[in-house]
Structure 1
Amino acid sequence: MSVDYYAVLEINRNATDADIKKSYRRLSLKYHPSSNRGPGSADKFNELAEAYDVLSDPRKKATYDKFGEEGLKGGIPAEFGENGAWTSGYVYHGNPEKIFRKFFGGDNPFADFYSKDGNEVAIGYNCLQGRGGKTHDSPIERDLQLALDDLFHGCTKKIKISRRVMNEDGYTSSIRDKILTIVVKPGWNEGTRITFPKEGDQGPNSIPSDIVFIVRQKCHPWFVRQNNDLLFTAQISLGMALTGFSLDIDTLDGRILNVPVNDIVHPKYTKVVTGEGMPLAKDPSQRGNLIISFDTTFPQKLSAERKHLIKQALAF
């Protein structure tokens, strides 16, 4: 009884080379003796290897398509052969593991199903039996450095990544570039995570990693962020601390904020300006506070006359 190699691989005669490879991958993993010890699985695994060995080779496939199994294995007449002689018949070597290992590459085609320490991963042989899906690679995390101005106003960042992508044949791959767009919302905090699902390297036996960008805030020349508040330190003289003054601060939205200070500025004194901090991520119309602390500069020397005048002033 002749063998229908197309039926063995569960494909039709119009199947492409990619279809042949895809079907062999699926069925060989399903019926591999390491994962399927059911009755007839070893014979099925062997039949799959022979069918793939023939249909994946253009010359063998062409001979089989025209002359069937008899012509393939018995040789074909001179007028169809080369050098005026009968072609030698095809003989299957009978080693399905050889076909399997050549297809998946390396001496251990099941390497993708094990962790780095050699232990079997949680999905086990469910992948091989077609029940459990593929392994999911760990997320790839990258820092996204943003200026305080970007986090105040919001912005759009475009990041080019290079990743390995599977080709149409299902088992080779190539490196391709892709642009990922991140829309930064006003008020985002340090540590905000932006996830792009399955944008990592692709592989035949794995689900691509998620790519995760983590917001990292760059230092600002004069503001320090504390949650939704902005901290600002003003340099003042001792005379200003005792007698009052007016402070001009350049804001992140391009204004000059005038802050009068009429209190005596003692070492623990702070001035809070409501609503002049960072936008709230959940409601950018609301803002935190601006908290001003002061660094008072003391004179290095005082003449006897000035000391006397200061004593008189403070005596009241």
Structure 2
Amino acid sequence: MVAGDYYRILKVKHDATDEELKKAYKKLAMKWHPDKNLEDPLRKEEFEAKFKQVSEAYDVLSDPKKRQIYDLYGHYPLNSQRFTKEYGGGNMKDAGVVESSLLCTLEELYNGCKKKLKVSRIVAPDEFGELKSVEEILKIDIKPGWKKGTKITFPGKGNQEPGFAPADLIFVLDESPHAIFKRDGNDLVAIQKILLVDALIGKTLNLATLDGRDLTIQMADIVKPGYELVILNEGMPISKEPGKKGNLRIMFDVIFPSRLTTQQKCDLRRILSDVYY
């Protein structure tokens, strides 16, 4: 399924029983519940996204009627919004649009990419009155800098029910969490852990960019609380302004020593007592 196979998300077979679904859901819900992520706040969005996926999959597959529709039509009918209206002089109604999430990595949104998606859709009954399922490969050209929420429309490529025109198929871009960077508009934000000594005397940082370059950053300033290092033109491409990018903002998490010896305390007091604040 384009928007994510609910069976795969719950890690169960297509003939899974209600008990197997419930057991799988409880296991994954406990693993990905946001309240379980207490040690790494940077993965908060990842936990929330995974938990939402698992909950949505269970909500559909645990309901016999929803599951039957899902097995027949795929993801689309469950997320569709139908706005019906009469065509002039005819009785064919407009099935509106069908929206489906398209998950992209931050690298794909930075560099741009081409995706080929195999979709299954239901078309109008044939001469024997039976619904027919057809498969088609759709090509999507992701432009550098596109943002979460961007919509790509394929007119008439959604499911078709009796008495309705084929629905438009719309993919809505979603962004998977990144291990290092977080997007903030056109900017990229990175949290950099740094030792207290480096925060005071400076350090050379090496950072791998989303397009595979090695970025060397020389830190000369003292890292004070709330300090943010801004690297111009190293953020996300701005899709409507080719050649331009946002900024890279580096925020620091200063690691303090867990203990100091008496001699170290004396040495620090001696050294820092001559510093003008």
* 2:107 alignment partner AA: D
Q: Secondary structure at the match of 1:246?
A: strand
Aligned to 1:116: none
Q: Does 1:165 align with 2:123?
A: yes
Q: Report how far residue 283 of structure 1 moved.
A: 2.3
Q: Which residue of 2 aligns with 1:275?
A: 233
Greater RCO (Cα-Cα under 8 Å, separation 6 or more)? 2
Contact 2:95–2:160 under 8 Å retained in 1? no
Partner of 2:253: 295
1:159–1:181 contact (8 Å) kept in structure 2? yes
1:220 positional shift: 1.0
Distance 1:229 1:122, change over 3 A: closer
- How many pairs are equivalent? 192
Q: Deviations over 1:159-194 (max 9, x none)?
A: 111122347759654211111111100000011111
User: Are 1:141 and 2:114 an aligned pair?
Assistant: no
TM-score, reference length from structure 1: 0.57
Output the CA distance in 2 between the equivalents of 1:284 and 1:153.
12
**Structure 2 spans left out of the alignment, 5+ residues:** 1-82
The answer to whether residue 270 in structure 2 is matched with residue 312 in structure 1 is yes
Partner residue, 1:264: 222
Determine if contact 1:233/1:292 at 8 Å carries over to the other structure. Answer: yes
Pair 1:215-2:173 in alignment: yes
1:198-251 Cα offsets, whole Å, 9 max, x none, are 112234521111111111111111111111111111111111111111111111
Kindly indicate whether the alpha-carbon contact (under 8 Å) linking 2:126 and 2:132 is maintained by their aligned counterparts in 1. Answer: no
- 2:195 maps to 1:237: yes
After superposition, residues 163-202 of structure 1 pair within 5 angstroms as: 163-166=121-124, 169=127, 173-202=131-160
CA deviations 1:99-153 (Å, max 9, x no partner) are xxxxxxxxxxxxxxxxxxxxxx974xx66xx625521113211110101111011
Q: Distance in 1 between matches of 2:194 and 2:113?
A: 35
C-alpha separation in 2, matches of 1:269 and 1:283: 29
Does structure 2 retain, via aligned residues, the 8 Å contact 1:225–1:231?
A: yes
Whether the 8 Å contact between 1:273 and 1:290 is mirrored in structure 2 is yes
Residue 110 of structure 2 aligns to a residue in which SS? helix
* C-alpha RMSD over aligned residues: 2.1
Residue type of the alignment partner of 1:142: S
- CA distance in structure 2 between the aligned counterparts of 1:252 and 1:284, rounded to whole angstroms: 17
Q: Percent identity?
A: 39
Residue 284 (structure 1) shift: 3.3
1:254 aligned partner: 212
What TM-score, normalized by structure 2, do the two folds share? 0.65
2:125, 2:162 within 8 Å by CA — same for their partners in 1? no
Does the 8 Å contact 1:170/1:204 carry over to 2? no
